[in-house]
Structure formats: structure tokens, C-alpha cells
């Protein structure tokens, strides 16, 4: 069977590593004792997943398995900002166990685990990708503050499906509670502390999620986020070598399913057309210019209290 591979530099020399495996895997219990202390791996029948962050390796084609017709683009792609995106497909019954027993953060970020499809995907962000994701951490809280809305940054927390079952997990580049959910988060934290807010987070999806450098691997994500109950998705893309981004809003709870929108329903009608400039100002550190831009287009709410300027006080003893 043919392997798709690439040559990488490791330990001062060039080695060839396979990028993908082709066979539908037949489930076996995961074995964390495979490999050795220096290079541990998880092994399943015909498949090896190194725990050192290197690439998945096809060991052999299991007897009676189905061979998938595939190309390199089915399992690996380099995004427009230079990030590496990976996707593997296994038997769906394996996925929940793999989700529980393996720390996917060791491979990368923006992990998606979909046991319904038997797909696990992740990405290794480029410096530019991280910079654009960080820009959202400045733009969104400032916009919420101008609108007098509470906001709680959930960053890249991984979210379970709404039924609490380990069938689907999603992780965005950034996620936020905005408005009522943020107010509730702060109130729960003040009263019950970290354990209490973790209980709230487990059953409450974010209002807004951000994904930077979207690829064809992400085409099903809007529907998955919608099923979770997320209200809005921002997709942030850029052409190679460009300092300017394009930002697309998706109203995830629109009648008939997710659809594009020019204005944000989460942030007071914020127009997507100003986001390229807003992200550039945030990355350039021009916070005065960023505030002036947002204030020009946003109308503060008269029904909410201003967002807290400092973290909530500790619960009284």
C-alpha cells in the first residue's frame, strides 16, 4: 500500500515521515505502554500515534479492512497563514476512547473530535495565525465595553456536545460569553468560585467563537457549532503575505441553518466591513485608533451595566 510522505529535518538530518494512513481501523484497546519512555506512542491495530508530536504512522493494513481512496489534501493542508492542519479518520467507535485517553493538546490546537464521522482534526498554528487570534482578544472585549456589555474570554477552551456525551468536541481559536451569559458567569464566580463556573461552562456554550485561517477541513464546523447552541461564528482569513484579514460573520442560529451575515447579532450590529481595519489596529497596538473606529460604528446599549474593569472579587468567607 502506498504511503503519502514528506521529508523533514530532525536531529541534524533528513528523514521521511508518512503523512496519512489509508485504512479504516479495526478497534483495539489503546496501549499507552507502546514505544519507550523516550518516544512513547499510542498503538491501535495498524496505526501508531506518537506522543512526541510527530506524525501519525501507518504500521500495516489490517486484514479485512476497507481501503479509503484519499490524497494528501484529505489529511494535511498548509493554510494561507502558514499553519499546518491535520485530519485523521478512524472507526467511529474508537473516537470516544481516544478523546478520553489522549491529550490532543500535545499535537496541536483547535482540536475537533467527531465520533459520528470518525474524524479527529487539529492544527499547529503559525506565528501569524497566533497574532491574528490574539487580535480578537483585544477587539471583542473593547467592542463589548463600548456597548456596555459584559464579556468573558473563554479563549481556546474545548467544548463538549450539548448532550454531554463524548461524541463531538470542538475547540475554536477564541470563544466568548457576551451579555447575559457573561453576567451570569461573573455572578456564579463571585458566589461559588472556580468549581461553580466550571459547572456552568459544561452546560453553557459560548455566544461567539472565532476561527482564524479556515480550510476545507472546517466546512462542517458551522453546523456543529450551531448544534452546540453557539450563536455566532467569525471566520478570519488572509491572503498569503497580506497584513489585512477578511472577516466573515455566520449567524449560527438563523432559520434554516447557519448563514452569512454582514452584522453581528452578538455585538450590537457591529459591521463586518470594519473588522479588517480593527484587527490591523489591534495587531499594531494602536488602541486609541481601535477605540475611535469602534465607537464610530457602535451604539451603546441602555439596558446593561458596564463591563467590570477588574476581575470579580473573591467570594466572601
Q: What confidence tens digit (pLDDT) does each residue in 251-265 have?
A: 999 999 999 999 999
Q: Is the pLDDT of residue 293 over 50?
A: yes
* Burial class (CB within 10 angstroms; exposed 0-12, middle 13-18, buried 19+) of 14: exposed
- Each domain of the chain, given as residue ranges in start order, spans 1-65, 127-297
Q: What is the pLDDT of residues 217-257, one digit of tens each?
A: 888 889 989 998 999 999 999 877 777 899 999 999 999 99
Could you tell me how far CA 273 lies from the centroid of its own chain? 23
**Pairwise CA distance, residues 90 & 139, whole Å:** 38
> How far is it, in rounded angstroms, from Cα 275 to Cα 299?
16
Nearest to 264 by CA among 209, 227, 311: 209
Mean pLDDT of 97-103: 75
- Mean residue pLDDT of the chain comes to 75
Q: What is the pLDDT of residues 190-202, one digit of tens each?
A: 999 999 999 999 8
Tens of pLDDT along 102-117?
777 777 888 888 877 8
- CA-angle at 142, arms to 140 and 145, nearest 5°: 110
The answer to whether 22 touches 67, Cβ cutoff 8 Å, is yes
- Looking at CATH, the fold of the domain delimited by 127-297 is given as tt1808, chain A (3.90.1570)
- Helices (H) then strands (E): counts for the chain: 6, 17
d(C-alpha 245, C-alpha 191), whole Å: 40
At residue 207, the 3 state secondary structure works out as coil
Cβ neighbour number for residue 199 with a 10 Å cutoff:
12
Q: What is the pLDDT of residue 242?
A: 75
Average of per-residue pLDDT across 92-109: 77
Amino acid at each position: 500500500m502506498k504511503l503519502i510522505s514528506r521529508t523533514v529535518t530532525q536531529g541534524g538530518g533528513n528523514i521521511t515521515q508518512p503523512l496519512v494512513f489509508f485504512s479504516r481501523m479495526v478497534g483495539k484497546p489503546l496501549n499507552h505502554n507502546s514505544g519507550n519512555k523516550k518516544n512513547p506512542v499510542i498503538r491501535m491495530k495498524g496505526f501508531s500515534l506518537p506522543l512526541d508530536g510527530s506524525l501519525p504512522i501507518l504500521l500495516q493494513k489490517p486484514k479485512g479492512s476497507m481501503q479509503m481512496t484519499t490524497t494528501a489534501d484529505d489529511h494535511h493542508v498548509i493554510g494561507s497563514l502558514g499553519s499546518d492542519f491535520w485530519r485523521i479518520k478512524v472507526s467511529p467507535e474508537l473516537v470516544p476512547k481516544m478523546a478520553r485517553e489522549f491529550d490532543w493538546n500535545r499535537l496541536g490546537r483547535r482540536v475537533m473530535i467527531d465520533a459520528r464521522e470518525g474524524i479527529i482534526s487539529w492544527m499547529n498554528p503559525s506565528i501569524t495565525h497566533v497574532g491574528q487570534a490574539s487580535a480578537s482578544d483585544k477587539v471583542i472585549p473593547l467592542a463589548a465595553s463600548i456597548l456596555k456589555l459584559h464579556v468573558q474570554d473563554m479563549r481556546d477552551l474545548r467544548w463538549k456536545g450539548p448532550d454531554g456525551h463524548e461524541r463531538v468536541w470542538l475547540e475554536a481559536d477564541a470563544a466568548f460569553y457576551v451579555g447575559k451569559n457573561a453576567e451570569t458567569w461573573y455572578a456564579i464566580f463571585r458566589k461559588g468560585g472556580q468549581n461553580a463556573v466550571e459547572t456552568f461552562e459544561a452546560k453553557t456554550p459560548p455566544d461567539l467563537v472565532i476561527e482564524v485561517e479556515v480550510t476545507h477541513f472546517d466546512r462542517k464546523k458551522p453546523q456543529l457549532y450551531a448544534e452546540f447552541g453557539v450563536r455566532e461564528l467569525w471566520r478570519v482569513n488572509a491572503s498569503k503575505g497580506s497584513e489585512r484579514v477578511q472577516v466573515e460573520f455566520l449567524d449560527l442560529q438563523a432559520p434554516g441553518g447557519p448563514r452569512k451575515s454582514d452584522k453581528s447579532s452578538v455585538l450590537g450590529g457591529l459591521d463586518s466591513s470594519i473588522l479588517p481595519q480593527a484587527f490591523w489596529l489591534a495587531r499594531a497596538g494602536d488602541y486609541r485608533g481601535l477605540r475611535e473606529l469602534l465607537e464610530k460604528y457602535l451604539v451603546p446599549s441602555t439596558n446593561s451595566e458596564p463591563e467590570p474593569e477588574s476581575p470579580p472579587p473573591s467570594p466572601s468567607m
